[in-house]
Chains A and B, each alone.
Chain A
């Protein structure tokens, strides 16, 4: 009974100015809160750029070397000299190695899960690949340094022996495999899950009609994939790889544990040495004074811009694809 009596006066209450305004006020507060947190996100992004730029500019004003071309990192010296040439080279080379290894394998895994695996196994198998993404990067780091590095000795000497003539696989320095090549392999394992899961999503969206049409014409499974799945999924795979690239560029701990850093640029990928932005920050932070920290922030700013460009481009490709397929659906 209580309910009915409560309900009966309700419609007139809505007409009363007081009652309506409470409802509206709640709405306004709620809209304000949720819109506010959306805006807060934009503010955070903007302030990351602003704060990093500000501290970086303090360091750059003191720098006596050329920030882009100096092969040295000595902000504590007199005069302070530091540059990102080696870091930029190391970051890009290790990420490229990771991409070259990871993207084909990831596409293979995505195809396996979307088209080859027995139906019932597909979901658990996809989950297994996702577990790779759940492993913290520091654990990849110690696994890489204490397990993978000794294991790769054999592969390295094999590459040196048979592919040494390619210059990049020539090992000119003796030493354990704490090289950019090893880092690349480790990064490849770490970016596999993200490239796989995005590619898999795209492969699953291929219109059934296209595949069935190909099958009806007598195509084998591989021909179906080559004629209908891969062309449809191409842009998706590209953006997935760029997301993976973004991860690889900014990876810190795995690189810091595996690489034995040095400030040289060498295309002999198997030689120990080199450095990446994130690894350099992790390695140099402890001993850095205030100028040293600002210098590291400056290198972090470059990394930030780099990942921002790569991720932004990847997202734009995905967004454009979404609109395109939406119009067709």
Chain B
């Protein structure tokens, strides 16, 4: 420790650029780990000494101590610039940890509370005849609703999205293409509830009744821009040589697109569509406005009210009893598993089937 104190005076002078940095004093590479150990020990000491109950407070004290200790020690041993660098590093690390905490907490809460009532019975029974505040019942009707609505939405939006992307990449020039590109971007930002209100206003004008199809149309509006964007990126990755080779053989352009361009990019396109499905599968607002919700099994998406997983969670949450909260968490676990699996599989396909650029 005496070294440190002796060096403190020259270190102040080092801040000028003229000094040779190679002869400067450096902290050893294990310094951050050392700071961390000291501050955690002090944090626990202070926390236990002051009788603070919450472990979170212990952690916060340790984190604050870490920042202070590393700044002070570095600025005395090395210089202010290095100290600022270390400060920035720790702030950036803290930012990242801050983002991970809610994710972990959310997944942990959902899994631990969802496991309570999640079993085969829950997955294969509807809520028919089950009073909301009592235990029992299941999610089967909502599962069917989600699958049908999302399936219909995909059937509508995948071709439109794919064709639009083809237009933008293969044909798009001029004002129309620019306008389409811009509005696709803007459309990604449409709140789901506005898409729901749009279909609702059509329903009010045309006198249509709520059904799974109406919800699917609203979901399709949300899905199209996502499909267009990802497909566009994938089509752009297809090497131009492939197109030119096919065109040079006299193949008409539409066959080049269908037989060469799209097959080359099909992995990425699938990924994009799956990610889009994962995104809309969790949408609640349009379903609430357009499908109305039901406790019964309704396998016909074209007529009558249906339920859906996210809407089921919302319903059970609103009932507000212990049993309904349990059901809400279990349904949340089913939904999150569905979405995460789609995500993982989609990204797996993307890596596995990525268009081979270059050799």
Contact = CB atoms under 8 A, between A and B. Distances in A.
A33 interface: yes
A62 interface: no
Given A45-B186, A253-B285, A138 B310 contact: yes
B148 interface: no
Interface stretch (B32-40, B83-91, B127-135, B237-245): B83-91
A14 B191 CA distance: 51
A105 B109 CA distance: 23
Interface in B218-259: 221, 224-225, 228, 250, 252-255, 257-258
B154 interface: no
A287 to B, nearest CB: 13
A307 B195 CA distance: 12
A300 B192 CA distance: 11
Contacts of A222: 84-85, 87-89
Nearest to A251: B191
A55 B204 contact: yes
B284 A138 contact: yes
Contact of B167 (A34, A147, A293): A34
A54 B201 contact: yes
B168 interface: yes
Given A35-B171, A125-B96, A253-B314, A52 B329 contact: no
Interface stretch (A81-89, A107-115, A208-216): A107-115
Interface in B25-49: none
Given A132-B102, A136-B339, 6 more contacts: A52-B197, A116-B93, A145-B317, A246-B189, A282-B285, A311-B186
A218 B17 contact: yes
A112 B95 contact: yes
Given A223-B85, A285-B288, A297-B197, A135 B204 contact: no
B191 A142 contact: no
B208 interface: no
Interface stretch (A24-32, A71-79, A160-168, A267-275): A24-32
B357 to A, nearest CB: 18
B93 A136 contact: no
A38 B204 contact: no
B191 A252 contact: yes
A27 B96 contact: no
B335 A257 contact: no
A142 B176 contact: no
A312 to B, nearest CB: 5
B100 interface: yes
Interface in A160-217: 189, 192, 196
A139 B314 CA distance: 9
B191 A131 contact: no
B153 interface: no
Contact of B96 (A24, A109, A221): A109
B284 A137 contact: yes
A227 interface: no
Contacts of B184: 41
Contacts of B200: 293, 297
B254 A26 contact: yes
Contacts of B87: 222
Nearest to A312: B186
Given A41-B187, A105-B98, A134-B343, A48 B109 contact: no
Given A138-B284, A143-B110, A147-B109, A221 B85 contact: yes
A27 B95 contact: no
B171 A128 contact: no
Contacts of A264: none
* Dominant SS among interface residues on chain A: helix
B190 A142 contact: no
Contacts of B285: 252-253, 278, 281-282
A99 interface: no
A307 B54 CA distance: 41
Nearest to A305: B194
A44 interface: yes
Contacts of A225: 88
Interface of A: 10-11, 14, 23-24, 26-27, 29-31, 33-42, 44-45, 47-48, 51-52, 54-55, 104-109, 111-113, 116-117, 125, 127-129, 131-132, 134-143, 145-147, 154, 189, 192, 196, 218, 220-223, 225, 243, 246-247, 249-253, 256-257, 278, 281-282, 285, 290, 293-294, 296-297, 300, 303-304, 307-308, 310-312, 314-315, 319
Contact of A143 (B17, B109, B182, B187): B109
B224 A41 contact: yes
B99 interface: yes
Nearest to A143: B106
B117 interface: no
9 contacts: A44-B224, A116-B89, A128-B100, A146-B325, A147-B109, A221-B85, A253-B285, A290-B204, A314-B189
B59 interface: no
Contact of A38 (B81, B164, B205, B221): B164
B193 A278 contact: yes
A254 B35 CA distance: 40
B202 interface: yes
A38 B180 contact: yes
Contacts of A33: 163
A134 B340 contact: yes
Which 9 residue pairs spanning A and B have beta carbons closest together?
A136-B282, A250-B191, A108-B95, A311-B189, A30-B254, A34-B167, A220-B85, A222-B88, A23-B252
A140 B310 CA distance: 11
B133 to A, nearest CB: 16
B163 to A, nearest CB: 4
Contacts of A297: 197, 200-201
